[in-house]
């Protein structure tokens, strides 16, 4: 990576976790071999670099503000005259503070937007059970009205589009990737779908996840775009069927998830394929991952805290998510759980991509060139992700995880080890 300097004396960043991989990064990409593999690296679809800002500090709000500062000219130009929409992650409906996007994250974004003259801002989410505004209140988002002219909306208020997804709810061991086309229906928020009138910012904390290994910026958009019935929020509307959970139901036929389970894994694979398929329509215009306090273990709701006191931001959402996955040290977490973070087991495998397999949906987006996912081609403006991994040993709230230099992943992680390698597209 190129060395960058700013007020924090930006350091040269790491490429991928592990000394062997760091050494391999000195070789041309096509000549590299993943440690333990005899397959060459595939050439990444994107040869251009992306900038991602990474900041650490003890002031939560200021971390977010400072993470955005190095990119302010690019952000202002990207927004242009469009209104801004911030999509937080309120999976607990405000009942579990650690599960939801903290108000400090939103305040930092709003303060930054104010500093560049962007004040037409909406915060919008869709929570199960019609509890969105209750979640905003419980998470103290409404206190932001005292300082900023921000609007609060339900994602369903501007309508939905019928969207076909791969049918993860009825997947079975014998039907792994067998469907030629997606057949299940969800209704996705028009406010988030491209082409859209808003400049959309995905704002969330890094968390472990029971279906997708990790929650970072794109998963917040992809899974969070599916809506409940509109009649809950807009009286008099005919609405649509309440199928929000179809984007979340991979374990319906799962059985045990404490070890590899083919049915559960097949459902997770369908969900990974769905998120990949929807990424061109739902990728955010900017990503902010608030790692001041992340979640490990039984995420996305019931895990324990990891106190990294960091913030990550950028206009390339996939590059931001790649850095977030790196500071979580997902590769080490997968290995510790007994999985292989580089495993691609399809018979079609002929080359190794220059990044880990998991989270698989992000890997697929990298293969398709939806953003930069090769860490060696991401200019990290700030401390190296590797330095945050090293600091993890003392940052776990759970004493049982003390000393780990990675986020302890969800107990069902082995059943999330999907094994699709090729990209899955609808056939018609």
Of 14, 25, 27, 37, nearest in space to 421 by CA: 37
Query: Which position has the token pair 């369903």?
Result: 156
Look up residue 208 and give its two tokens. 């472990």
Q: What is the pLDDT of residue 32?
A: 32
> What 3-state DSSP class applies to 292?
coil
Locus of tokens 């999976």 = 91
User: Residue 166 in contact with residue 184, Cβ under 8 Å?
Assistant: yes
Segment 377-402, tens digit of pLDDT: 999 999 999 999 999 999 999 999 99
Structure tokens at 5: 């300097």
Q: Which of 12-16, 39-43, 193-197, 267-271 is least confident?
A: 12-16
Rounded Cα gap, residues 302 and 297, in angstroms = 8
Instruction: Give the confidence band of 239 by pLDDT, cuts at 50, 70, 90.
Output: low
Give residue 39's pLDDT band: very low, low, confident or very high (50, 70, 90).
low
Sign of the four-CA dihedral 29, 35, 40, 44: negative
Averaged pLDDT, 23-45: 47
CB 8 within 8 A of CB 383: yes
Mean pLDDT of 360-378: 95
Identify the three-state secondary structure at position 60.
helix
Closest residue by Cα to residue 382 from 35, 43, 51: 51
Q: Looking at the predicted structure, is the pLDDT value of residue 11 above 50?
A: no
- Strands 50-56 and 378-381, sheet pairing: parallel
What pLDDT is attached to residue 417? 76
Strands 151-154 and 121-125 turn out to be: parallel
H/E segment holding residue 145: none
Q: Specify the pTM.
A: 0.88
**What does pLDDT average to over the chain?**
84
Q: How confident is the model at residue 168 (pLDDT cuts 50, 70, 90)?
A: low
């Amino acid at each position: 990576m190129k060395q960058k300097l700013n007020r924090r004396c930006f350091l040269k960043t790491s490429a991928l976790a592990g000394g062997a991989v760091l050494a391999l990064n000195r070789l041309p990409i096509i000549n590299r071999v993943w440690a333990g593999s005899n397959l060459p690296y595939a050439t990444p679809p994107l040869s251009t670099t992306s900038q991602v800002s990474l900041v650490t500090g003890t002031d939560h709000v200021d971390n977010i503000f400072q993470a955005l500062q190095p990119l302010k000219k690019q952000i202002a130009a990207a927004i242009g005259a469009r209104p801004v929409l911030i999509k937080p992650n309120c999976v607990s409906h405000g009942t579990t503070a650690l599960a939801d996007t903290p108000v400090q994250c939103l305040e930092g974004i709003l303060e930054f937007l104010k500093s560049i003259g962007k004040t037409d801002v909406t915060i919008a989410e869709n929570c199960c059970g019609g509890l969105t505004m209750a979640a905003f209140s419980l998470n103290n988002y409404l206190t932001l009205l005292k300082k900023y002219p921000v609007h609060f909306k339900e994602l369903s208020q501007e309508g939905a589009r019928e969207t076909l997804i791969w049918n993860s709810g009825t997947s079975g061991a014998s039907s792994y990737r067998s469907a030629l086309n997606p057949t299940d229906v969800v209704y996705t928020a028009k406010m988030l779908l491209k082409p859209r009138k808003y400049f959309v910012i995905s704002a969330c904390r890094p968390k472990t996840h029971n279906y997708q290994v990790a929650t970072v910026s794109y998963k917040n958009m992809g899974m969070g775009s599916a809506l409940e019935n509109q009649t809950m929020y807009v009286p008099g509307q005919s609405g649509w069927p309440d199928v929000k959970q179809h984007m979340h139901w991979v374990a319906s036929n799962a059985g045990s998830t404490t070890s590899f389970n083919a049915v559960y894994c097949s459902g997770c694979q369908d969900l990974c394929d769905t998120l990949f398929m929807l990424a061109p329509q739902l990728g955010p215009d900017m990503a902010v991952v608030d790692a001041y306090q992340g979640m490990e273990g039984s995420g996305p709701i019931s895990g324990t805290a990891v106190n990294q006191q960091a913030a990550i931001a950028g206009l390339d959402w996939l590059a931001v998510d790649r850095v977030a996955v790196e500071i979580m040290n997902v590769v080490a977490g997968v290995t510790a759980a007994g999985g292989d973070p580089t495993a691609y087991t399809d018979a079609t495998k002929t080359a190794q991509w220059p990044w880990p397999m998991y989270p698989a949906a992000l890997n697929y987006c990298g293969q398709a060139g939806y953003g930069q996912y090769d860490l060696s081609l991401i200019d990290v403006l700030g401390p190296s992700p590797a330095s945050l991994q090293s600091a993890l040993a003392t940052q776990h709230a759970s004493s049982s995880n003390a000393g780990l230099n990675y986020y302890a992943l969800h107990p069902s992680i082995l059943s999330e080890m999907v094994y699709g390698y090729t990209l899955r597209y609808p056939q018609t």
